[in-house]
Amino acid sequence: MNALKPADLSLWKGRKDEKFGRPNYWYEMVKASSLEELKSSANKQLAILGYAVDEGVKRNQGRVGAIDGPDAIRKMLAILPNHFINPTDILDFGNVACVDEDLDGAHGHLSKSVSQLLSQGAFPILLGGGHDIAYAHYAGIRHFLDGQGKNQTIGIINLDAHFDLRSNKNGNTSGTPFFQIAHDCKAKKQAFEYCCLGIQCSANTQTLFNTADELGVTYLENTKYTIEHWGEVKNCLNDFLQKVDKVYLTIDLDGFSSAYAPGVSAPSPMGFSPDIILKTLDLLIESQKLISIDLAELSPKYDQDNATARLAARLVHYLVSR
């Protein structure tokens, strides 16, 4: 089985409206592509790449189903309207798969793909899949930046209920990605700049809090990551942004309240709401440091009326339309 499954354009469909000189919806814009075909373009290029893998979730004793997340998000992206001001190409590169439970192999393939997308000037939008996507995604960004010969610092901003800083001594899982990144940074003598917003005491052991403190992680708990505390959130983000050259944003959908995101690997009734996320996205856009994003942990079989998939799609739409 190939580790990269080609794009399935049958997922991209929607209503038929009269056209007035431009496509009305995303499904009319998207094109199947491959890493071999990708070339630099004067147009903005949005590169959609799925990570159809929940092996890491299974290893982390979560409820599986995230393997179907990428395609569920595609279906909800397809029906969204085209509000791009500048010429924009939406390119679908298919899904990275995990062959024979080889999670490290899937990570390697995803990492290489991210690096190639960035090298051609595309903006990667990765759709998960388990949150172990973060380790491979970061590695791809790091490889691309190192290849430019610049010592640029990557700031990771994770919107999540969990630190995902578990030790990987018994293997890599969806709970270990930022622990792995921290140790890779230490080995390469590079800064580990990690900011996690929405942390829940009920979702992290004291050991994980201790690990976060030892690694110098910036974090706000879910009681502070709210629109009512936007001033504090804004100061936290601005302080973090000043320390880094590029920002990699990863959104774990299980950080949202299950009222908004029931279809996730680890649902949370006490999670954050969309309003604080949109304010965060606005600030990151204004910083002009955002280099790549992903969304993780959508598990469609637990979703209700595609609510979580719709939420994921609209977050992407909000971000890239700006």
- What distance in Å separates the CA atoms of residue 226 and residue 242, rounded to the nearest whole number? 22
C-alpha distances in Å from residue 101, one per residue of 58, 172, 218, 264, 297: 10, 12, 33, 21, 18
H helix intervals, the chain: 55-59, 69-78, 103-119, 133-147, 177-188, 206-214, 230-241, 274-287, 307-320
Binding residues, by number, are 131, 160, 162, 164, 252, 254
Question: What band does 2 get if pLDDT is binned at 50, 70 and 90?
Answer: low
- What is the pLDDT, as a whole number, of residue 169? 94
Q: How many CB atoms lie within 10 A of CB 77?
A: 27
> Which one has a higher pLDDT value, 192 or 321?
192
Question: Given this model, what pLDDT does residue 322 score?
Answer: 84
Q: Cβ distance 232 to 283 under 8 Å?
A: no
pLDDT range class, residue 35, cuts 50, 70, 90: very high
Residue ranges of alpha helices (H) inside 127-273 are 133-147, 177-188, 206-214, 230-241
Q: HSE of 157 in the Cβ direction (CA atoms, 13 Å)?
A: 25
What CATH number labels 4-320? 3.40.800.10
Residue whose C-alpha is closest to residue 159's, from 70, 280, 275:
280
Q: Tell me the per-residue pLDDT of 71-87, one tens digit each, with 9 for 90 and over.
A: 999 999 999 999 999 99
Binding site residue list for Mn(2+): 131, 160, 162, 164, 252, 254
